[in-house]
Structure 1
Amino acid sequence: MYPKAYIEFLAHFHGTRDYFECHEVLEEYWKEVDPRNRSSIWVWLIQIAVAMYHDRRGNPNGARTLVKRCLKNKSEHEKELPLLGLDGERLVKQLEEFNARLDEEVPYRSWNMPIIDMELLKEVHLLCQQWGVAYGSPSDMSDEHLVLKHKKRKKSL
């Protein structure tokens, strides 16, 4: 029912906490299905993951810019989110809390998107299990591979 890339996005967001990989997986999908639409729900979700990536690596300005952009565009997507198995109202509230935390300079902390479709939740849990990661565990702040992944990846020519 849901695109494989979306399920992988959610498993990375909630399991591996690899927000960079969230971005990679969903960007590839977005480019396949809706490449020129910068206001796509897929871009909006990618921006949330990238904001989390910036926050964890100690770039609150980058995180704040993206969260504010997501909040500015929330009305475009809030009603779409239930079609993706998410509680749109709750996710927007979480983004508002995230934004407030950034403004108060409170350190990074992991959080989960509000999945309301129990079948989707099962699929995400199963994928996390297959990957050998626990769903909902906090991010490992000492893992430089996660925290600075953009600097560690191999660049293609």
Structure 2
Amino acid sequence: MYPKPYVDFLVHFHGLRDYFECHEILEEHWKSIPKHDPKKHWVGLIQIAVSLYHQRRQNYSGALRMMRSALHIIEIEQNEIEALGLDARQLREQLCKRVKDIENKQPYESFNLPIKDKRLITLCEAECKNIGCTYGLPSDLKNEFLLHKHTLRDRQEVIDERLAQKNLRKKKREG
């Protein structure tokens, strides 16, 4: 019923609190969608995760920029958000509160997206159990890898793919 990357996003969001991975999962899904149908609601969800990643690292300017943008998209894409089993009104309220918290440089606190589809919650809880985490637990703020993943992860695969794409573009230009 829901795209697998979306469920994976929710598991990483609510179970592992790995917002960097949330971004990676949903961005890959969003990029796979035809350009003529951009589905901005995916961008809004990605930006929520990115904002929380920044807030948790105390990068308040980055967090605020992303959360304001996410809030704007969620307001415009309410029907699509509802179709994903979320309560759009409640999500908007949560994001408005988070914007104020970030503006006031409040420390990060975990929160859950307002899922109203009970079957989706059950699915996410089962997936969390399968990967060895618990749905809904707060972030482990002592986990340095989780907090600073963008600087600590192995990027060789990304670097190799970028080089391959660059070479492919070069070959096309050279004809």
* 2:41–2:74 CA contact under 8 A, matched in 1: no
1:140 match: secondary structure: coil
Measured after TM superposition, the shift of residue 153 of structure 1 is: 1.5
Aligned match of 2:167: none
Aligned match of 2:46: 46
Aligned match of 2:171: none
* 1:51–1:66 CA contact under 8 A, matched in 2: yes
* 2:87–2:116 CA contact under 8 A, matched in 1: yes
Aligned match of 1:32: 32
Instruction: Return the alpha-carbon distance in structure 2 between the equivalents of residues 39 and 70 of structure 1.
Output: 13
Aligned match of 2:163: none
One-letter amino acid of the counterpart of residue 30, structure 2? W
Report the structure number with the largest CA radius of gyration: 2
* 2:22–2:49 CA contact under 8 A, matched in 1: yes
Instruction: Return the alpha-carbon distance in structure 2 between the equivalents of residues 39 and 103 of structure 1.
Output: 28
1:33 match: secondary structure: coil
One-letter amino acid of the counterpart of residue 125, structure 1? E
1:111 match: secondary structure: coil
Instruction: Return the alpha-carbon distance in structure 1 between the equivalents of residues 56 and 114 of structure 2.
Output: 20
Relative distance call for 1:39 and 1:30 in structure 2 (3 A) is closer
Aligned match of 1:95: 95
Instruction: Return the alpha-carbon distance in structure 2 between the equivalents of residues 32 and 104 of structure 1.
Output: 37
Q: 1:93-135: per-residue Cα shift (whole Å, max 9, x none)? A: 0000100111122110100000001111111111111111111
Aligned match of 1:21: 21
Aligned match of 1:75: 75
Q: Does 1:86 align with 2:86?
A: yes
TM-score (norm: length of structure 1): 0.94
Structure scoring higher RCO (CA < 8 A, sep ≥ 6) equals 1
* 1:57–1:147 CA contact under 8 A, matched in 2: yes
* 2:44–2:71 CA contact under 8 A, matched in 1: no
1:24 match: secondary structure: helix
One-letter amino acid of the counterpart of residue 71, structure 1? L
Aligned residues: 157
One-letter amino acid of the counterpart of residue 63, structure 2? A
Runs ≥4 residues deviating over 3 A: 34-39
Q: Does 1:136 align with 2:136?
A: yes
- Unaligned ranges ≥5, structure 2: 161-175
* 2:19–2:52 CA contact under 8 A, matched in 1: yes
Measured after TM superposition, the shift of residue 79 of structure 1 is: 2.2
TM-score (norm: length of structure 2): 0.85
- Unaligned ranges ≥5, structure 1: none
Q: Does 1:149 align with 2:160?
A: no
* 1:53–1:147 CA contact under 8 A, matched in 2: yes
Q: Does 1:8 align with 2:15?
A: no
One-letter amino acid of the counterpart of residue 17, structure 1? R
